[in-house]
Amino acid sequence: MPGFSVSGKMLVKNFKASFMTEFGVPVRVYNGVRFANEDATLASVRLDGHDGGKSCELHGNMKVKTAEDAVKDAIGIKIQVEDGKGGLADNAATLGSLKKK
């Protein structure tokens, strides 16, 4: 399955654009309880207590919950995948299944 690599060096806006291109749905990136600044790096919006010095791969065959957890564990940021209608995607859906044909 296609996918892309996520690292703390990425800007929030570039991560969101790559996610949209790859999976066809928006993703929300948080800095605490607020949305992260688009021009911030992912590393700069890490949750407290996370070193997040790793990177992770997101693939179309990953379930939404697995992808959200992988980004949180590796980089230390909270994301939520949208369903393309403004709501949140089903945690049991795969990233690839969210893309509109």
What CATH number does residue 63 fall under?
Answer: 3.10.20
The SS3 assignment for 5 reads: strand
Q: Domain count for the chain, please give it.
A: 1
Q: How far apart are CA 23 and CA 63, in angstroms?
A: 12
Phi, psi angles (nearest 5°) of residue 35 = -70, 145
Domain residues for the domain of 17 are: 3-98
Secondary structure of 38-70 as H, E, C letters: CCCECHHHCCCCCCCCCEEEEECCCEHHHHHHH
Residue 82 has pLDDT above 80, yes or no: yes
Q: What is the pLDDT of residues 1-55, one digit of tens each?
A: 568 999 999 999 999 999 999 999 999 999 989 999 999 999 999 988 777 678 9
pTM for this prediction: 0.92
User: Which helix H or strand E contains 72, and what residues bound it?
Assistant: helix 64-75
